[in-house]
């Protein structure tokens, strides 16, 4: 399989958003080692430059996916440098806890701006370059697209929405030979997930052994790498997420009926606890909760 991946990915021109850290950085590095030509977008110039060095001094741009004009300019420059585009990985995203009642609406707004609108802008702009038989767009989403857990309403809603964007794009671009995939990730051992769980409310409500066991970053990177090489429609990491996604209704029912002895206390904490985003966002009003 390693040799097959090398053959399939060699020379593939790939743009990765959210490439400064975590899964985006690790995936870009892995694709480069397979022979792909990668370009990087992200929010942290210093980290982006470090990733670029590990990727053979790959081209990169500091860019916020919430800014469509800046994104269009950055994508245009990077695609010109690559001489075209075969793959876009819409990986940029954030999360923050949000109680539905009594929580700060600013958390929802900012999550929508990054996860939903940022993914839309990425697919719309990069999609202009993917209308060919080797074109492939991958939206990195979450198992939260199918099963919603408490305090994750904003994240779950945007995961489901980005899944819908990908499904729509797949239908609209199929006649061009372009394929579109969705990556459904469980809890992966990244900085983003550790920050997401690092709150007093999350500690209070965490349900041991239920969609909360961490998998190593390698699990996600290996699955995404293989999915990109084969231009897959669905990518699951770890593999059990696929079972959950195929059984969304009963899985959600299990969550709905789970005993909730600490729910009231957790929500009370969450309504007063300052929500921390998993990625620092600049140029926007800070949450007030």
- Pick from 70, 24, 19: which is nearest to 45 by CA? 19
Burial of residue 4 (CB within 10 Å: 0-12, 13-18, 19+) is exposed
Partners of residue 39 on adjacent β-strands: 15
Partners of residue 118 on adjacent β-strands: none
Which residue among the candidates 120, 136, 155, 236 is catalytic per the annotation? Answer: 155
Q: What is the C-alpha to C-alpha distance for residues 172 and 170, in angstroms, rounded to an integer?
A: 6
DSSP string, 69-116: HHHHHHHHHHHHHHTS-SEEEE-------B-TTTS-HHHHHHHIIIII
- Pick from 121, 128, 117: which is nearest to 70 by CA? 121
With contact defined as beta carbons under 8 Å apart, do 136 and 169 qualify?
no
120 catalytic per annotation: no
- List Cβ neighbours of 234 (8 Å cut-off, separation of 6 or more): 181, 182, 184, 242, 245
- 222 sits in the region (left: phi over 0; alpha: psi -120 to 50; else beta) called alpha
Q: Which residues are catalytically annotated? A: 155
């Amino acid at each position: 399989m390693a040799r097959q991946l090398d053959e399939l990915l060699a020379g593939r021109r790939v743009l990765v958003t959210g490439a400064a850290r975590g899964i985006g950085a690790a995936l870009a590095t892995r694709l480069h080692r397979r022979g792909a030509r990668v370009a990087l977008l992200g929010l942290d110039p210093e980290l982006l430059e470090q990733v670029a060095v590990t990727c053979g001094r790959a081209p990169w741009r500091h860019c916020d996916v919430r800014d469509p004009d800046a994104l269009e300019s950055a994508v245009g420059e990077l695609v010109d440098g690559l001489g075209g585009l075969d793959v876009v990985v819409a990986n940029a995203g954030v999360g923050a806890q949000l109680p539905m009642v009594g929580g700060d609406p600013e958390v929802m707004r900012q999550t929508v701006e990054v996860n939903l609108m940022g993914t839309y802008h990425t697919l719309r702009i990069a999609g202009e370059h993917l209308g060919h038989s080797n074109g492939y767009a991958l939206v990195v989403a979450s198992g939260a697209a199918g099963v919603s857990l408490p305090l994750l309403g904003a994240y779950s809603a945007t995961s489901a929405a980005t899944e819908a964007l990908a499904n729509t794009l797949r239908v609209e671009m199929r006649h061009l030979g372009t394929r579109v995939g969705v990556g459904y990730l469980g809890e992966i051992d990244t900085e983003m997930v550790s920050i997401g769980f690092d709150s007093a409310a999350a500690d209070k409500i965490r349900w041991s052994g239920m969609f909360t066991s961490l998998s190593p970053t390698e699990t996600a990177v290996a699955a995404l790498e293989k999915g990109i090489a084969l231009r897959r429609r669905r990518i699951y990491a770890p593999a059990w997420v696929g079972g959950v996604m195929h059984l969304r209704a009963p899985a959600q029912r299990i969550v709905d009926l789970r005993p909730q002895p600490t729910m009231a206390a957790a929500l009370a904490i969450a309504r007063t606890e300052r929500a921390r985003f998993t990625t620092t966002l600049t140029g926007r009003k800070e949450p007030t909760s």
